[in-house]
Structure 1
């Protein structure tokens, strides 16, 4: 649950006033009065800590969001509704040679810093035909690690997550609903969790690129271009770890990870 900032401030003020009254009463109490219960002190400490924090995750979805920084990390929770219409006049200008269809639903880019993104994709109550369109997500850093967690709400359209980290480690946490391609490129190790490996078909390993298909591939009809779920990760000098978001962190001595690592 997200507490509105105004409500949170009011609760903080009420708590401070109540605590002041409590302190004055305690000062006027007799010397042998029992101290306040430990649980009350802990509860007050927790509320005070909550009131002092300035970070509030977004409470409303957005779309076509771009965050571009030069030398700072990117950390946050991003709620994306790919069907939300944003007036073009409110969007940043396109780069030379780009068209409106080149815009990403979420674009996070930093030149020198890490990225830690908790991404929520908003869908519809019932699955609808996506007509070849996918939700596009792009994360990149020239000097820093990248962690991306994908959460889905309702029936979401297929998504393409494209990650580039030149010198950093990449960790991706996928939803169980992911059904599609994995393309992992690195000169270091690329590890899949045991659950993910059990649901994946190994397609190829060519030089530094490993390809998998997650889900049932036996009855899937392919056109020339795949338009379902897809994860592309490129990390030149960093390792890659892929697992489901509800799985525990991969152990360092995972047998299957060693077998399928390059």
Structure 2
């Protein structure tokens, strides 16, 4: 079959386009995602309270402790709370676990995020993180019958008060390198993570981070939020006194 010059040119052009299409890689799922419209980031919130009796609590939150929330939108005050000292985050479960992934934003002076997590018949797993300019926070974790696993920001600076009855307390190696333990009396261990020379005993002077953990029947494990998953943890540093007295 003999083709005219025009038809030969058309055939050659069609062949060239087909070959280019065969060589061009198909779009990947990642590239399709990147080209699509971005999903908006979660909005910052404040004064969040969730309490459940027969199911677990699972929350991913962005918290700005300086964010204004009208009083009629805030949760009811708990016993001991006041309008000026209300928890920015309160997560509780009676017969379930508490899972929380919390990003802290906002850095207004003295605007610390105060968070309370409690499980009566379950455990607590919480990851706290945020940008370098994040607000400071106070986290009170209480588990009566379950373990507590916490992942805290690497720039955490402040005291760790851990009370436990039946279980172990373990820190990741990276935390152990920055941790100073001042003793353990009546099953309460008092530590400071970071430079404790900044501490002041004057009331209201400390505006940095604080961590308070209470566990009766369960273990306590504390990591940095960017520690490699499965990083080793130690119950306490190996010292001469520990080896002599079998601690």
Question: TM-score over 0.5 for the alignment?
Answer: yes
**8 Å Cα contact 1:121-1:156 kept in structure 2:** yes
Aligned-residue offset at 1:94:
2.2
Q: 4+ residue runs of structure 1 moved beyond 3 angstroms?
A: 95-98, 218-222, 224-227, 254-260
Q: Gaps (5+ residues) in structure 2?
A: 1-24, 34-38
Cα deviations by residue, 1:200-226 (Å, 9 ceiling, x for unpaired)? 111121121111111112354442454
Residue aligning to 1:218: 197
Is residue 56 of structure 2 the alignment partner of residue 91 of structure 1? Answer: no
The partner residue of 1:251 within 221, 227, 232 is 232
Distance 1:255 1:62, change over 3 A: closer
C-alpha root-mean-square deviation of aligned residues, in Å?
2.9
CA distance in 1, matches of 2:40, 2:186: 41
Check 1:84–1:207 CA distance in 2 against 1; reply closer, same or farther (3 A cut): same
Structure with larger Rg = 2
Seen in structure 2, the aligned counterparts of structure 1 residues 257 and 146 have a Cα distance that, compared at 3 Å, is farther
Runs of 5+ consecutive residues of structure 1 not aligned to the other structure:
1-38, 48-55
Number of aligned positions between the proteins:
207
Work out whether residues 70 and 110 of structure 1, in 8 Å CA contact, stay in contact via their aligned partners in 2: yes
Given the superposition, is the C-alpha separation of residues 59 and 233 from structure 1 closer, same or farther in structure 2, using an over 3 Å criterion?
Answer: same
Contact 1:122/1:154 (CA < 8 Å) preserved in 2?
no
Distance 1:57 1:110 in 2: 30
1:195 and 1:98 map into 2 onto residues whose CA distance is: 35
* Cα distance per residue 1:103-132 (max 9 Å; x no partner): 2111101111001100011124xxx532xx
Distance 1:154 1:219 in 2: 19
Counterpart of 1:80 in structure 2 is 63
TM-score (norm 1): 0.70
Selected match of 1:107 from 90, 93, 98: 90
Q: Equivalent residues in 2 for 1:28-47 (5 A)?
A: none
